[in-house]
Structure formats: C-alpha cells, structure tokens
A and B are shown apart, each in its own frame.
Chain A
C-alpha cells in the first residue's frame, strides 16, 4: 500500500465495547429511572431537622423541586468500579432528568457540573490529580462541592434564599444517597463480586 493510501488509525479502537456500552446504559437507566419513576422526596421538608433554616423560602416551589433526593446518586461511588462509561452514563441519566425539571431550562446545565464532579471521582479527586494519589472519598468530596455550589447558584438566582443555608441543603440532598451507595459499594467490594464476574 502506498503512503498516500495509508488509512488513519482508529482513535476509538477498544473504546466502544459492548461491556462499556452496557455499563453506560445501565448507569443512565438507573439514574434516570430513580427520579422519573419513584416518588419525589424534597430534602427541604426535613432540612430543619438537621439544623438548617431556610425561612420563608422553605415554602418556595422552586426550592422544593430543586432539592429533590435523586436515588440514582447512590451510583456515584461505583465509578471507582466501572470507570468512565459510568461517568458518561450517569451524566446522560442526569440530562434525561433535567429535561423534565420543574425548575426551568437552567437545569439543563446541571449535567455539565455533574460530569465535572463525576470525572473528579473517576480520577480520585484533587489528591488523585495533583498528588497522583487517587482517593475515592476525595473524589466524592469534590463531586459534592461542585454540584452543591451549582445547585446553590441556581437557587439563589431564582429565589431570595441565602447561599450559606441553601448550600448545606444541596449537600444534604447528595450526601444521603451517596452514603447509601458508599455502604453498598464497600460491601460489594469486600465480597469481590465484580472482580469475579466482570471481564
């Protein structure tokens, strides 16, 4: 073959596998179904039990709709097991949910911040990127902070609520499902289920 006919190497070789595609779809499905199919629980309704007071804004419909607990968030720790396909899957799942958001079109930007947060989970957080010491908890912390800041920004741009209190509500709405996910992840990791079955 002459050099002019030399084909270009495929940069996606080995990336689009059935296994990766499956993980991507399953994560997107679980994340989206968790919010589309299950009853909505707003964290605002019990935020005061955690010592967070929102004042008159507690009755705001936007605040209630923005801080709904997303059961799919429990998948976040599993990024350590399933890698980047899970990051993209969860992001797509979040996008699907965002299309149905009662908050408005601003919520369509939320998957971008979710993606950044999840990518940090994948690469072990700030400790993983700067110190080359990947750590799941460091990644989860980065995810929580980034997504909570964004949600707080949406809240303060649409309502009169104060950033300090709403930031903790945002954190709470994520910490609850992530804690459950982390416990399940640790159990599964301890049992070595996926190391036995995955390819």
Chain B
C-alpha cells in the first residue's frame, strides 16, 4: 500500500500530466438533459420529448459507467492512499492559461447568473407587455457611465496582465490600482446614487411589483459580485505594490482579472434586459 501511495503522489504531481475533464462535461450535460426532461414532462410541454431526454440521460450514464466502472477500485485505492499519506491533494492542471479552479469558478458563476436570468424571464413571461405600463422609464445615462467605467477598468486590467508577462512593474501596479478605484466608482454610482435616488423618489422599490423586485434583485446580486471583484482587485494591487508578482508567478492576478472581466460581461446583459427591455419582442 505504501508503494501504491508513493506512486499515486508521483502521478498527482507529475507536471506533464493532463487531467481528464470530459467526465465533468458529460456529467453536466447528462444532468441538464435529465432536469430538462423531467420539467418538460411535469409541466406538460411535451411528455414524449421529456421521456426522450430522460432516456438519453440514462443511456449516457450507462455508457459512461461502462467506461468508468473498471477504474473505480484503482481510484478508490489512490484516494485512500493519498489520505493515509498526509491528505495532500493533487494540483489541478491548467485549462489553457487560466487555471482550472478559475475556469470552474467562472463556470459556476455563469450557471448562477443563468439561473437568475431564467427566473427573471420566466416571471416576466406572465406579463402581456414588458416593461409593465406602470413601470418607470429608467434613465440610461447612469448605466452608460457605469458601462464606460467597466470598459476602462477592463482595459486597465488587460494592460496590467500584459505588463506582468513583460516584467513591467509600473503597468502591473497602476493598472490594477486604476481598476480597483473604478470598481469603487461603479459600486458608489450604483449603491450610493442610483438606488437611493430610485427609492427616495418613490419611482421604484423592491416592493413595487415584479419590475422593481427584478431590478433590485439582479442589480443587487451583480453589485455583490462587483464588491467581491473590487476586494480581489484590491488584494492584487497590494500584492503588486509589494512586488509579489513576476513573469512566472502571477496566477492570482490573472484569476482576479478574469473574474472582473466576467462581472463586466454580465453587466452588459443587465443593461440590455433591465434598462432597455431586452427580448421584449417575445412578450
């Protein structure tokens, strides 16, 4: 067993080893098929199509299990061996140049916002017209300014990322410092100006119907993500000023940058859907 454990450790820390990611992709796809199939059958969209989806799910799982089941004893042995030898976990290999954990985290965030938007559109579909006639016309000036702020901050992060690979300390420090400051500007405009303005004027509140509730919920959860991005950027800035990053070691900087870019892309959809009534032609 000791020999097995050593072998396992060597396998896990082999820098040239590429870990398979297909099981995760197949698992997610199969899960989506199953959920879609059950929902279709329960909601009466199409019982036949729902049954086909569930059948596809079962076939996928069977095919996958047939391939995988003969590996289970070995994987189980490896896991036990790893635990007994100190419980040191294996390093995930990179997916491209952004680390696998970052890619996985961004994927989970995409799923989170996809769920939020799906709920928004589902509730919205119960209204004959959107935005509802009693909803206020939201001024696009503030989100336009916020979009400009995010675009400039993304450009600064891009500059910073390019700088760290070239050993340009100035770009690394001040690129992220600028992005951090702009993150504060975005947050202050949202939570310090727009929200109080809408609430105090009585134009819109979380209790003023579905439009108000959706607006505050979606901009709120995005605002929390902006705050998290700001904190990550602030930590990167502090580390950059302490000289923690160099051409070879800048994983955290890239992860924070990728997360900020993601927060930016979500904002574009919020702008289109909430302020401009995006996809209103399907109403």
Contacts and interface: CB of A to CB of B under 8 A. Distances in A.
Given A7-B20, A16-B103, A199-B165, A100 B147 contact: no
B97 interface: yes
A97 B272 contact: yes
Contact of A16 (B97, B148, B158, B277): B97
A1 B162 CA distance: 37
Contacts of B257: 18, 22
Nearest to A102: B281
Given A7-B19, A10-B21, A18 B268 contact: no
B193 to A, nearest CB: 17
Contacts of B272: 32, 36, 96-97, 99-100
Contacts of A32: 147, 268, 271-272
A131 interface: no
B16 to A, nearest CB: 11
A56 interface: no
B2 to A, nearest CB: 19
Contacts of B70: 4
Nearest to A5: B71
Contact of A99 (B97, B162, B278): B278
B151 A26 contact: yes
Contacts of A93: 268
Given A29-B154, A30-B151, A36-B140, A17 B98 contact: yes
A157 interface: no
A32 B147 CA distance: 9
A133 B162 CA distance: 30
Contacts of B166: 199
Nearest to A30: B151
Nearest to B145: A37
B268 A96 contact: yes
A23 B158 contact: yes
Contacts of B165: 199
A49 interface: no
Contacts of B97: 14, 16-18
Interface in B1-48: 11, 17-22
Given A17-B96, A37-B147, A197-B171, 5 more contacts: A7-B20, A17-B98, A21-B258, A37-B143, A197-B162
24 contacts: A7-B20, A14-B96, A15-B96, A16-B98, A17-B98, A18-B254, A18-B258, A19-B162, A23-B158, A25-B154, A25-B262, A25-B264, A29-B154, A37-B144, A37-B147, A37-B271, A99-B272, A99-B273, A100-B272, A100-B276, A101-B281, A198-B162, A199-B162, A199-B166
Q: Which 9 A-B pairs have the closest CB atoms?
A: A37-B144, A99-B278, A16-B96, A17-B97, A22-B158, A100-B276, A7-B20, A25-B261, A33-B147
Interface of A: 1, 4-5, 7-10, 12-19, 21-26, 28-30, 32-33, 36-38, 92-93, 96-97, 99-101, 104-105, 197-199
